[in-house]
Each structure stands twice: as structure tokens, then as C-alpha cells.
């Protein structure tokens, strides 16, 4: 609930929503967990309980998967034309847009992010994703293929068909938007879904479930089962009647997903961790670069898998850039997400607070120094000060491991080849940034970086049409763009003689 420091008044719908125990959506019905259990979700700005949510477990996953299977095999979803599916997805986007303020407030309460950011990024990004994928529903095509077998004539063609029942497990850093990244392409392809939101932030997915019903998407097509990863998530990943599992989260959990999926060799897509290098050459436009690299790490409190958490700066510009980023960090106003003055909210949970502060302590023990920040902010809620660490090197934990907080390590470089080697010296390969006025150099460096996305003189630019995903241990497959449809379809070859 809003506190005295939170100036924005909650909408009546939001107040009612968080005041009632939230049930799960299975086969078009809002039901309690089979066990009757609930779990709390917390307001990260205060550490206080925000809402109670039904705690899904194996039996609830079984019920949801059965509902999705029935909807896929014999329900109206499989009989709908692509155009009909597209219209329903577009209608869902319209409903989300209509409830923008409501969703923004729920995200701010449940996740901690500033309401202003949720309004201009999370909710509009969700709407755009559903609309983009609605258009793809009518454009999933096969091909005709000329073949020469045995000198005879054949008609050969491919069909691209929905993979079937999909288990989708989404993270807590962008709860609503990640739901759209998963649900949009699955629905466009004609799949049916069991969605497991993060236990830290289940509320926007449950509200989305209500709008899915309002949009007219048939019962069982989308089922939303909140619960813990080790119970509900594990049961969904291992379920023998799930054809594909899609996961966004940590690399450690991604590896567990792969193991669980081995039972029936279900298809797997993974969008995992990152330790992204952000590279600044001395010829960069520093007045534009400094705010850019600051945003690369401090956006969403550093809780981004692609955050520019390793800052490499050419030696001659190092002091100016570090000074500039430190000044930007010192100006960031921390506070509750619903406070209009807030520019950075709290981390999502006490667990995350301990993780980030633990990394800071480890960095200091290894010799790192903070030019700004470096500690918790206040004693209430899960706030960490934006932090710039210097005196760091490639061997340090803070340089090699994903912190997932507002912490950047700054390292100078001289030689470009050495820079590339250091930038690529990580198990991850999700994203990277390059800042220079020399466009030839920018493209040369971009081509050598082992990353799924390279931003040049910008950072954190996302679009439903732009594929996103990682190399190495940053994952399998690509979200968004037409490439995402490969994750939710199977290709069938058909061949018949015509002479």
C-alpha cells in the first residue's frame, strides 16, 4: 500500500486488487491452490507485505497443463483462423493500454520501479509487443520446395505449425513486459500456455489474466499459476505433457531448466544472465556518452540482464568518464516507486539486497574502491546506492559475476585487441555497447564482440521487431522479431508425386 512518502494516490482498482487474496487462473476459472496455501508478496520500498497470492504446486501445474492440452487439442483456439487469433491479441493490447495507470501502479508496488518508468516503458512496451505479434498471426508461412528425387515430379512443401503446450517462466525485473514477450508469440503461433510468474512479482500477470478473459481468449489457452521456482517452476519444466518451456532468468536456474526438460526432450528457449561490456573510446562524444553509459547500468536499478555493468574506457578519457558517471550517479534520487520524484527505486527483495551488498563487500576486500555509492541506502526497504567501482581487474568477482544491481566496474584500456579479449572474457554474451565518433571503428569492434546485441552510441534500445538474446551462457534462441516464431513452431515437410 502507499505510504506517507508516496505522493501518488492509488487507483481504487489497484487498492482492491492488492487487498484481496489473489487466486490462480486455470481453465478459465479463478481457483485456490490445491493445497490451499498462499504466499506473501512484498512492497520492496517498505519490506511490508503487499498482497497474498495462491501458492501453486505440482498438482496445480498438472491441472493447468491438462487445461492447456485440452484447449490445444480440441478447444476453439486450434479451430480459429489466424486472423481471429490476431484480432483477440490486438484486443488484449487495447485493454492493457486502457488500464495503463493501473498496471503501472501494480508494477511499481510489486517490483519497486518508479511509476514514471512503468508508465513510459513497461506498459507501452507490453502493448507494442502484443500488437506486433498480433500482426504475425496471419504471416506464419511455409514454403514450396523443388526436389529432384528419382527423376520424378513431386509437390513438396513445408507447414509451420504451433509447437503445442508451452510452459513459460518469467522473471521479476520486468514482470508485465516479460509476460508479453512470452505470451505474444506463443498465442500468435497458436500455442496454449501455462505461465508461471516470478514469486516476487506475480500481481501484474494475474491482472493480465483477467484481461485475457475479457478479451475473449478461450478458456485454457492461457493459464496463470503463481508459485515458487523450486516447486511450481520445476514441475512445469519437467512436465511430460509440456511440449516446450521458455524461461527468462538466471543462468544457474536456466541450467536446471535444461536438466528438467530432458525427460521428454521438450524444446527449450532460454534468456539468461549477462555481464555486458560498455566500451568508451577517447573520441566519443562525452556529453552524450556519460549519461548513456550511466543509464546503461542504472536503468531499472541495474536489474537488467543486459546492463552495461563492465565499463571499459580508453585510458586518456578514463578519469573524465568516471568522474562524469560518478556525478550522474550522485544525482539519482532514490525513493519509493510511487513518489513522483523517485528516479531509482529499491531492489526487488531482501534476498536481492543481500546479494548486491555482498558483492560490494567482496569487491572492497579484493581492493576495489567506490567513487560514489558503495552501500545500502537507508534502513527501510531494499535500497542500494548507485555505485561506481574503480581499481578493479578481470579476476575480481565484481567483474566476472553478474551482480544484478546498480553497480558498475570501470577499467581503463589502451590496446583495442586487448580490450576485445577482456570484453569477451566472460561466460556471458548477451549485450555490449560501443561509444565512438569513428563509425568504421565502431562496426569493427561490434563484429568482434561475442554478444547477441551491440548498441553503438546508445544503449537499452528495444523494439518488438528487434531480436534479443545471447551467446554462450546467456541463453538459447531469440526473443522478439520474426526469429521468435521459430521458438513456438514446428516445421512439417509434406511431399506427394504429381506425375
| Active site members | 271, 305
CA 433, CA 426: separation in Å to the nearest integer?
Answer: 15
Can you name the residues that pair with 160 across neighbouring β-strands? 491
The three cell numbers locating residue 378: 537507508
Report the candidate in 79, 105, 173, 95 with the shortest Cα–Cα distance to residue 134.
95
CA 279, CA 373: separation in Å to the nearest integer?
Answer: 22
Instruction: Identify whether the C-beta of residue 276 lies closer than 8 Å to the C-beta of residue 310.
Output: yes
Report CA-CA distances (Å) from 471 to 78, 144, 273, 331, 450.
34, 32, 10, 35, 7
Give Cα 436 distance to the centre of its chain.
28
CA 436, CA 434: separation in Å to the nearest integer?
Answer: 7
**Cβ neighbourhood burial of 241 (10 Å; 0-12, 13-18, 19+):** middle
CA 473, CA 348: separation in Å to the nearest integer?
Answer: 24
Report the candidate in 24, 30, 55, 60 with the shortest Cα–Cα distance to residue 40.
55
The SS3 call for residue 242 is coil
Amino acid at each position: 500500500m502507499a505510504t506517507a512518502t508516496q505522493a501518488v494516490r492509488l487507483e481504487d482498482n489497484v487498492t482492491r486488487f492488492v487487498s484481496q487474496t489473489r487466486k490462480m487462473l486455470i481453465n478459465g476459472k479463478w481457483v485456490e491452490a490445491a493445497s490451499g496455501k498462499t504466499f506473501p508478496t512484498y512492497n520492496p520500498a517498505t519490506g511490508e507485505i503487499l498482497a497474498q497470492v495462491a501458492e501453486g504446486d505440482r498438482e496445480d501445474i498438472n491441472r493447468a497443463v491438462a487445461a492447456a492440452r485440452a484447449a490445444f487439442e480440441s478447444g476453439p483456439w486450434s479451430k480459429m483462423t489466424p486472423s481471429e487469433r490476431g484480432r483477440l491479441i490486438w484486443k488484449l493490447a487495447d485493454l492493457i493500454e486502457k488500464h495503463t495507470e493501473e498496471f503501472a501502479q501494480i508494477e511499481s508496488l510489486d517490483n519497486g520501479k518508479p511509476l514514471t518508468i512503468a508508465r513510459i516503458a513497461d506498459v507501452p512496451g507490453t502493448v507494442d509487443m502484443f500488437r506486433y505479434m498480433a500482426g504475425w498471426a496471419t504471416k506464419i508461412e511455409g514454403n514450396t520446395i523443388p526436389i529432384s528425387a528419382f527423376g520424378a515430379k513431386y509437390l513438396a512443401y513445408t507447414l509451420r505449425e504451433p509447437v503445442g503446450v508451452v510452459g513459460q517462466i518469467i522473471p521479476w525485473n520486468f514482470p508485465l513486459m516479460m509476460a508479453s514477450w512470452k505470451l505474444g508469440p506463443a498465442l500468435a503461433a497458436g500455442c496454449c500456455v501455462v505461465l508461471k510468474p516470478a514469486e516476487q512479482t506475480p500481481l501484474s500477470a494475474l491482472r493480465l489474466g483477467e484481461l485475457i478473459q475479457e478479451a475473449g481468449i478461450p478458456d485454457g489457452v492461457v493459464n496463470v499459476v503463481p508459485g515458487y521456482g523450486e516447486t511450481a517452476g520445476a514441475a512445469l519444466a519437467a512436465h511430460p505433457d509440456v511440449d516446450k518451456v521458455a524461461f527468462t532468468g538466471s543462468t544457474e536456474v536456466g541450467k536446471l531448466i535444461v536438466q528438467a526438460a530432458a525427460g521428454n526432450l521438450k524444446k527449450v528457449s532460454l534468456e539468461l544472465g549477462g555481464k555486458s561490456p560498455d566500451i568508451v573510446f577517447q573520441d566519443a562524444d562525452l556529453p552524450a556518452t556519460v549519461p548513456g553509459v550511466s543509464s546503461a547500468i542504472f536503468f531499472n536499478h541495474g536489474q537488467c540482464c543486459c546492463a552495461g555493468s563492465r565499463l571499459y574506457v580508453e585510458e586518456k578519457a578514463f578519469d573524465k568518464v568516471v568522474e562524469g558517471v560518478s556525478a550522474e550517479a550522485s544525482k539519482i534520487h532514490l525513493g519509493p516507486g510511487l513518489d513522483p520524484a523517485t528516479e531509482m527505486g529499491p531492489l526487488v527483495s531482501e534476498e536481492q539486497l543481500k546479494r548486491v551488498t555482498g558483492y560490494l563487500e567482496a569487491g572492497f576486500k579484493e581492493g576495489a574502491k567506490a567513487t560514489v555509492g558503495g552501500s545500502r541506502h537507508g534502513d527501510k526497504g531494499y535500497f542500494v546506492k548507485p555505485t561506481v567501482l574503480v581499481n578493479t581487474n578481470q579476476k575480481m568477482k565484481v567483474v566476472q559475476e553478474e551482480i544484478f544491481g546498480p553497480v558498475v566496474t570501470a577499467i581503463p584500456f589502451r590496446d583495442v585487441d586487448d580490450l576485445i579479449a577482456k570484453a569477451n572474457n566472460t561466460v556471458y554474451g548477451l549485450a555490449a555497447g560501443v561509444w565512438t565518433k569513428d563509425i568504421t571503428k565502431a562496426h569493427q569492434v561490434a563484429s568482434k564482440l561475442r554478444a547477441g546485441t551491440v548498441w553503438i552510441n546508445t544503449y537499452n534500445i528495444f523494439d518488438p521487431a528487434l531480436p534479443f538474446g545471447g551467446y554462450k551462457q546467456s541463453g538459447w534462441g531469440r526473443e522478439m522479431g520474426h526469429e521468435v516464431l521459430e521458438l513456438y513452431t514446428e516445421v512439417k515437410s509434406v511431399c506427394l508425386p504429381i506425375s
